[in-house]
Amino acid sequence: MRTIDMHAHVIPRSLWNAVDAGKDWYGFRHEPGAGLGNIMGCGKRTTLPTPKMRYTPEERLKDMDAQGTDVQVLSPHTPFMGYHLDLAQGRALARDVNTEIAGMAREWPTRFAGLATLPMQDVKAAIDELEYAVTHLGLKGAELDTQVNGEQWDEPKYLPFFKAAEQMGAVLFFHPQPQNNFLMDRVPRYRLFNSLGVILDDAIVAAVLICGGVLEACPDLKVCIAHGGGPTCYAMGRLDRGWEGLPVDQRTPHPPSAYQRRMYYDTVTGDERALRFLVDSVGSDRVVLGSDWPFVDFDPSPSGWVQNMKSITQDEKDLILCKNLESLLKL
């Protein structure tokens, strides 16, 4: 049985080409330093901790073979989504990145599938780019930040976007930017912005989609939350209790726990007990393999980590490692 990885990042070759030429890339600029240096953009510094961030597709394939990963679903590294740009630049960045990812999927169709990035600073432009990415480029959907320039996804202006994605059958993969959560300001120590802040953002976007009525309004919307949804499922009892205390006109028709199985969650939980709890909470048919390539080291590999778990049955493993994504992405 093949293994399919939902959570694998790309830094576009066009960015590295600009770096080599000494030029900016849509307002992002390279700073020399240890290893691959850093990328500055929107006032934030993105470190480049591993040489894999400059891998060619051929080098990536060799790494996948070494890890026993048959298919990666490619998505941009989140600091380079470009929501902060003006619309013209945002559109150009999205088309550049999406064309590159689609080219990889087209050249190696049995090894790669792709998710787009979108100019979410303008809803109509985002819908247009998603339609182009899905219908013309053959991408499977889009990767989205957990917020848009400080706005939350339950704002009414985003509902037409979700309706359009639902109609297209596009998968929406929500993944926060590590440098863009509140722990960067509150506790800028111990790398808590990454180890804890990221998964809190995962839970926030899941709660917003549920409590804000997005999943109620779009019952066939295909949503996947990174990092196992963070503490979403663990907090579901508290969300239900909060829902009970709301005025009726502010409630969804059903408590939050009724919606948690409408979403998918990847396996990047960091702990077997957490993954077992996730499977017990949402069902093995709603959990998909993720690696967070190239940022997380798994022993012996992303799929091997799951295969070696004693608490996960083989039938559950088959769904998680392959069958769920075959169905979700129509691979």
DSSP state, 145? -
Q: How many domains does the chain have?
A: 1
Q: 87 with 19: CB under 8 angstroms?
A: no
Tens of pLDDT along 264-300? 999 999 999 999 999 999 999 999 999 999 999 999 9
Residue 319 confidence (pLDDT): 98
Looking at per-residue pLDDT, the higher value among 191 and 143 belongs to 143
In-domain check, residue 318: yes
The reply to whether the predicted model has a pTM over 0.75 is yes
Q: 92 with 80: CB under 8 angstroms?
A: no
Q: 314 CB contacts (<8 Å, ≥6 apart)?
A: none
Tens of pLDDT along 74-92? 999 999 999 999 999 999 9
pLDDT band at 225 (very low <50, low <70, confident <90, very high): very high
pLDDT surpasses 80 at 36:
yes
In-domain check, residue 187: yes
Burial of 119 (0-12, 13-18, 19+ CB in 10 A): buried
What percent of the chain clears pLDDT 90, i.e. is strictly above it? 91
Q: Which of 42, 173, 25, 30 is CA-nearest to residue 100?
A: 25
In-domain check, residue 32: no
In-domain check, residue 116: yes
pLDDT band at 182 (very low <50, low <70, confident <90, very high): confident
In-domain check, residue 35: no
CA-to-CA distance for 78 and 223, rounded, in angstroms? 17
Point out the least confidently predicted range of 104-118, 174-188, 269-283, 299-313.
174-188
- What mean pLDDT do residues 191-214 have? 95
Tens of pLDDT along 132-152? 999 999 999 999 999 999 999
In-domain check, residue 204: yes
In-domain check, residue 36: no
pLDDT surpasses 90 at 6:
yes
- What mean pLDDT do residues 38-56 have? 91
Q: 27 CB contacts (<8 Å, ≥6 apart)?
A: 41, 42, 85, 89
Residue 107 confidence (pLDDT): 98
pLDDT surpasses 80 at 179:
no
CATH code, domain with 191 = 3.20.20.140
Looking at per-residue pLDDT, the higher value among 244 and 33 belongs to 244
CA-to-CA distance for 286 and 3, rounded, in angstroms? 16
> How high is the mean pLDDT of the chain?
96
CA-to-CA distance for 210 and 203, rounded, in angstroms? 11
For 141, the domain range is 4-12+57-329
Residue 257 confidence (pLDDT): 98
In-domain check, residue 48: no
